Chains A and B, each alone.
Chain A
Amino acid sequence: GAGVSQSPSNKVTEKGKDVELRCDPISGHTALYWYRQSLGQGLEFLIYFQGNSAPDKSGLPSDRFSAERTGGSVSTLTIQRTQQEDSAVYLCASSLTGGWDTQYFGPGTRLTVL
Chain B
Amino acid sequence: GDSVTQMEGPVTLSEEAFLTINCTYTATGYPSLFWYVQYPGEGLQLLLKATKADDKGSNKGFEATYRKETTSFHLEKGSVQVSDSAVYFCALSLQGAQKLVFGQGTRLTINP
Q: Do B98 and A31 have beta carbons less than 8 Å apart?
A: yes
* Main DSSP-derived SS at the A contact region: strand
Interface size class of B (residues with CB under 8 A): 20 to 34
Within 8 A of A (CB), among B67-86: none
What's the A-B contact tally at a CB cutoff of 8 Å? Answer: 49
Q: Do B98 and A99 have beta carbons less than 8 Å apart?
A: yes
A58 to B44: give the CA distance in the assembly, Å. 22
Q: A100-B93, A103-B46, A106-B43 are in contact. Are A56 and B98 (CB under 8 A)?
A: yes
Q: A42-B105, A43-B105 are in contact. Are A98 and B42 (CB under 8 A)?
A: no
For residue B45, give the distance in angstroms from its CB to the closest CB of chain A. 7
Which of B44, B93, B98: most chain A Cβ within 10 A?
B98
Within 8 A of B (CB), among A56-114: 56, 58-59, 91, 93, 98-100, 102-108
CB within 8 A of A48: which of B46, B89, B91, B99? B99
Give 7 new A-B contacts, CB below 8 A, not counting A56-B98, A100-B93, A105-B44: A33-B98, A35-B100, A42-B104, A44-B102, A50-B98, A56-B99, A104-B46
